[in-house]
Amino acid sequence: MRISFCGATEEVTGSNFLVEVNSAGKTVKFVVDCGLFQGPRETEIKNWNKLPYNPQEIDFAIATHSHIDHIGRFPLLCKQDFHGKIYSTKPTAGFAQIFLEDTCKLMKNTADDLGQEPLFEQSDVLSAVNLFEPHDYYEVFQPAEGIEIKFYDAGHILGSAIIEIEAEGKTIIFSGDLGNPPVPVLRDTDFIEKADFVVMESTYGDRIHEPSDQRKIRLAQIIEDVVKQNGVLLMPSFALERTQEILYELNSLFESKKIPQIPVFIDSPLAIKATEIYKKFPEDFDTEAESQIKSGDDLFNFPGLKFTPDANESRQLDQDASSKIIIAGSGMSNGGRIVFHERRFLPVSSTVLLIIGYQVTGTMGRMLKDGTHSVRIKGEQVPVAARVEIIDAYSAHADQPKLKYWLSKIQGVKKCFIVHGEDKSKRVLSSMIKDEQGVETVIPKEGEEVEI
């Protein structure tokens, strides 16, 4: 068996791994994820690089979850004559179309900025969507003779999966992105009993999140402060999972009267579509959320909440300076409607910008998180007078202790490949795993091939 590390090696984004297995006298080739490289210009240009394998020779693909840094280049594979199945969980298949369609539109703008031809078209998106074949968690299936695959719940976003692959008498685990339990709505991350090799993410491999029971308290305190100052709370949020988690938390805080009434706007057409799809998979919610649904509670709706799919409605939010909460994409402030609201409200001292997700190096969100005093938005230099708050406990990624604990529960690991993290995160996590668990670790470089 051979693994080629084609992405998410020297950075967080662009997950893409080629696996080659000897099966029934022939070589079966498949990819685990095929995601976009996201971030600054020098990172995004990599999406136009030639793929390090021939898509026509790929027998099938597996998607760990529906974030674009994991599925965003599947339409490119189809454009280059890939015709195999794309295996995923049911929610991942359900979300794929809306996220890939949106990505296609955004990538046209990126292509123009970079002086490139469009990476793919909407027809390629449809081709990719039609190749998805969903399977249940814990269902064993055989995409090719001699290869067995099973999905476990990663607890990262709805439908996210840890991939177990059995072939050539070996078991290899691809962690995908591991969740940060306990979180609203989602079930906790599954533990794996046994494996020979693990390919593991390291997004927060050098950091420890604040205690999970403090995040809701801090959110309530920040909202109270905003209301007292008659200010605006801006929340850059990813359309899938983070938006739904925050809606769940706000619903609970309003119902229990722990925060004062304040208008809440979901200003993201993509998040609005994702929330509707989200409601179709209650069987994948945790027991608490399931119980609330059965009691008649609409988890993602409450008095004062308004969805603003229309662009004119979005613009009106900036004309009205009254106190409110605006939740909009993109989650890293590198596009979408949030940048227009930031241009309007970041110079205002009563504004609070609340960062609740991972911010890739080079994005505007990362600069704001790191304390910059001004940002450039749509060609305009915008001063930052707003207060910037960060609640890392809302991150959908496991922190260092949870990553180490998850790996420690897997018996028989011969080698662990550390991917999907910035350099420091990978190095720190790799060193601690070797020292504390005695497991050999490898930090592969992009393009590296490994025989196992």
* Amino acid in position 267: D
Distance between CA 425 and CA 39 in Å, rounded? 17
* Amino acid in position 162: I
pLDDT at 440: 98
Widest CA span in the chain = 71
CB 316 within 8 A of CB 197: no
From residue 224, give the alpha-carbon distance in Å to each of 227, 236, 323, 369, 393: 5, 19, 11, 21, 19
Strand, helix or coil for residue 272: helix
For the chain, the domains span 2-207+396-451, 212-394
CB 324 within 8 A of CB 264: yes
Confidence grade of residue 279 (pLDDT, cut at 50, 70, 90): confident
Distance between CA 151 and CA 272 in Å, rounded? 27
pTM: 0.92
* Amino acid in position 209: H
Residue 177 has pLDDT above 80, yes or no: yes
212-394, which class in CATH? alpha beta
Dig out the tokens for 20 from the structure.
């080659």
2-207+396-451, which class in CATH? alpha beta
Neighbours of 363 (CB within 10 A): 22
Dig out the tokens for 206 from the structure.
């050098």
Name the nearest CA neighbour of 397 among 370, 369, 425, 364. 425
pLDDT digits over 371-427, tens only? 999 999 989 999 999 999 999 888 889 999 999 999 999 999 999 999 999 999 999
The pLDDT of 265-290, averaged and rounded, is: 91
Distance between CA 180 and CA 182 in Å, rounded? 6
Confidence grade of residue 39 (pLDDT, cut at 50, 70, 90): confident
